[in-house]
Amino acid sequence: MAKCPICGKEVKSPKKTWKMAGKPDKKGKRTQLTIALYDCCGKTFREVLDKKKI
């Protein structure tokens, strides 16, 4: 669950989720992010759900 940055209400289900890989660090490992898109108060906002090295 995510908290709306405008009204502070808890938003239960995301509108969309996706995975994204970032740039490699000095050791050559990338960070994989799972990002969710939420909708509340007529606005959309993103939140990172999971972060891990791949």
Percent of the chain residues past pLDDT 90, beyond the cut: 81
Rg, the chain, Cα only: 14
What confidence category does residue 1 fall into, taking pLDDT thresholds of 50, 70 and 90? confident
Confidence at residue 40, expressed as pLDDT on a 0 to 100 scale: 92
**The dihedral sign for the CA sequence 16, 6, 12, 35:** positive
Q: What is the pLDDT of residues 20-44, one digit of tens each?
A: 998 899 999 999 999 999 999 899 9
For residue 21, give both structure tokens: 């890989």
Closest by CA position to 38, among listed 6, 11, 7: 11
Which letter, b or e, does each residue of 4-40 get, where b requires 16 or more Cβ atoms within 10 Å of its Cβ? eeeeeeebeebeeeeeeeeeeeeeeeeeeeebbebeb
